[in-house]
Amino acid sequence: MYYVDLSYDTDKCKVWSLDTFSIETSYEGVYDSPEHLPDEIKNRVLALSIMQPKSSPVSGVGMRSAVDKFWVYI
Protein backbone atom coordinates (compact mmCIF):
# COMPACT_ATOMS: atom_id res chain seq x y z
CA MET A 1 0.00 0.00 0.00
CA TYR A 2 1.18 3.50 -0.81
CA TYR A 3 0.20 6.88 0.57
CA VAL A 4 0.11 9.57 -2.12
CA ASP A 5 0.07 13.27 -1.25
CA LEU A 6 -0.56 15.63 -4.17
CA SER A 7 0.38 19.27 -3.70
CA TYR A 8 -1.83 21.34 -5.95
CA ASP A 9 0.20 24.46 -5.10
CA THR A 10 3.55 23.11 -6.31
CA ASP A 11 2.30 20.21 -8.48
CA LYS A 12 4.69 17.91 -6.57
CA CYS A 13 3.60 14.39 -5.57
CA LYS A 14 4.99 12.58 -2.54
CA VAL A 15 4.68 8.81 -2.35
CA TRP A 16 5.36 6.70 0.75
CA SER A 17 5.29 2.93 1.02
CA LEU A 18 3.50 1.54 4.05
CA ASP A 19 4.72 -2.00 3.44
CA THR A 20 8.20 -2.12 4.95
CA PHE A 21 8.55 -5.87 4.37
CA SER A 22 7.78 -5.86 0.65
CA ILE A 23 10.44 -6.99 -1.81
CA GLU A 24 8.50 -5.50 -4.72
CA THR A 25 9.55 -2.36 -6.55
CA SER A 26 9.32 0.70 -4.34
CA TYR A 27 7.70 3.79 -5.78
CA GLU A 28 8.62 5.98 -2.83
CA GLY A 29 9.84 9.45 -3.60
CA VAL A 30 8.91 12.94 -4.71
CA TYR A 31 7.68 13.37 -8.27
CA ASP A 32 7.60 16.65 -10.21
CA SER A 33 3.96 16.26 -11.24
CA PRO A 34 1.17 13.68 -11.32
CA GLU A 35 2.16 12.88 -14.92
CA HIS A 36 5.54 11.63 -13.65
CA LEU A 37 4.03 9.12 -11.22
CA PRO A 38 4.61 5.46 -12.11
CA ASP A 39 1.70 4.14 -14.21
CA GLU A 40 0.49 1.74 -11.49
CA ILE A 41 0.18 4.61 -9.02
CA LYS A 42 -1.03 7.21 -11.52
CA ASN A 43 -3.86 5.04 -12.88
CA ARG A 44 -5.18 4.30 -9.40
CA VAL A 45 -4.99 7.95 -8.32
CA LEU A 46 -6.86 8.96 -11.49
CA ALA A 47 -9.58 6.40 -10.80
CA LEU A 48 -9.91 7.56 -7.19
CA SER A 49 -9.93 11.24 -8.19
CA ILE A 50 -13.55 11.02 -9.32
CA MET A 51 -14.64 9.90 -5.85
CA GLN A 52 -15.51 12.13 -2.94
CA PRO A 53 -12.94 12.29 -0.13
CA LYS A 54 -13.54 9.77 2.66
CA SER A 55 -15.55 7.49 0.37
CA SER A 56 -15.48 3.76 0.95
CA PRO A 57 -12.34 1.97 -0.30
CA VAL A 58 -12.43 0.48 -3.79
CA SER A 59 -11.28 -3.13 -3.83
CA GLY A 60 -7.92 -3.52 -5.56
CA VAL A 61 -7.56 0.25 -6.12
CA GLY A 62 -7.50 2.15 -2.83
CA MET A 63 -9.29 5.10 -1.30
CA ARG A 64 -9.34 8.88 -1.31
CA SER A 65 -8.93 10.22 2.22
CA ALA A 66 -8.87 13.95 1.35
CA VAL A 67 -8.98 16.18 -1.72
CA ASP A 68 -5.24 15.71 -2.25
CA LYS A 69 -4.48 12.48 -0.33
CA PHE A 70 -4.85 8.89 -1.52
CA TRP A 71 -4.19 5.37 -0.25
CA VAL A 72 -3.26 3.15 -3.20
CA TYR A 73 -3.27 -0.66 -3.12
CA ILE A 74 -0.49 -2.30 -5.16
Query: How far is residue 74 from each of residues 10, 11, 58, 62, measured CA to CA in Å?
Result: 26, 23, 12, 9
Exposed/middle/buried for residue 62 (C-beta within 10 Å: 0-12, 13-18, 19+)? buried
Q: Which tens digits make up the pLDDT trace of 9-55? A: 888 999 999 876 666 668 999 999 999 999 999 999 999 999 999 99
Q: Collapse the DSSP code of 3 into the 3-class scheme (helix H, G, I; strand E, B; otherwise coil) and give the result.
A: strand
Among 35, 29, 34, which Cα is nearest to 2's? 29
pTM: 0.88
